[in-house]
Structure formats: structure tokens, C-alpha cells
Amino acid sequence: MHIAFLVAPEGVEQVELTEPWQAAMDAGHTPRLVSTRPGRVQAFDHLDKADTFEVDQSVAEATADAYDALVLPGGVANPDFLRMDADAVSFAREFFRTGKPVAAICHALWLLVEADVVRGRTLTSWPSLQTDIRNAGGTWVDERVQICHDGPNTLVTSRKPGDLKAFGEAFLAEFAKTPQS
């Protein structure tokens, strides 16, 4: 399975990128780092700079058709930058339009709010996003992981780095149910 990990050039919470990435690799999947710019992305450990990671593809060149699923890591700045990029918003929205599974953790739900795909769905996130999610028509719950099946769409959401193990197990189980392209 080819899984797109969409991040901004700066601001992704490193552990929310690296742990799901490793879980996907351990399960035999092929993760690819997609960003709004080519080159390297700067990850963070909370507010401190951490490692950098090589981008595999720019979102302007990427299509949802080339991937079987999408993972959206969090970090406060990461989704804030992404939701201001029309190509990133369109890329995320396309996974919902085509019925491909999406997993998002922490603040990453801001991108889904911007893409207008949370309406009618029950999900979780970092607690400070609950008003944004409700205002966008979603139902927010305080759970480690929330799985929402909506027709052909599956959305797996999680709250924070402390939930990463449960998040990884949930999105891998849900992604395994999806036919690969």
C-alpha cells in the first residue's frame, strides 16, 4: 500500500510523523513524504527544532490516485501552514472524494476543517480544536482514537502523541480493509 504523509515544510511534530511512518513500514507499506515544497521539511519536538526529512514529492505534483491512503501528522504550525495552501487542501479533499482512507492526529484536523470534510463526522483531535470542528459541522469526542465510517470513507483520528500506539494500530487495521490501487 502506498501511503502519502502530507506535511508542511516546517512545523510537523516529529514523533507524529516518525512513529506512524515506522508503523506503516513495519506493516509492509510504502510511505512517501509529500509537502508543499520540494527539499527537506523541518520537524519539531514541541517548540524546539528536531530533525529534517527529505520530501519525496511536492503536493502540486501529487495526486490522490497515486496513493492508497493519507496520513496527516500534527504539530501546531504544520496544519496551519497546510490549510493556507490550496494544493494541500485540494489533495486532502480528493482522498475523501475518492473514498480512500485518511488518518489524522492532533492539530492535523485543521486541514480537514479547511477542506470542509468534517461535516457530519464524529472525530477527535487536540482538545483546542473542538470548537473549530463543531463549527465546521463535525462532532468532537475526547477519545484516544475515533474511527468514522461514512459511506466509502474511513477517517481515523487521534488526540495527541500519547495516543500514537493506539492511533497506529487503528489506522493500520482500517487501511488493511482498503483495496490497493
The residues assigned a catalytic role are: 106
CB 180, CB 127: distance < 8 Å: no
CB 91, CB 117: distance < 8 Å: no
Helix (H) or strand (E) holding 4: strand 2-7
CB 108, CB 72: distance < 8 Å: yes
Q: Determine the Cα–Cα distance for residues 181 and 178; give it in Å rounded to an integer.
A: 9
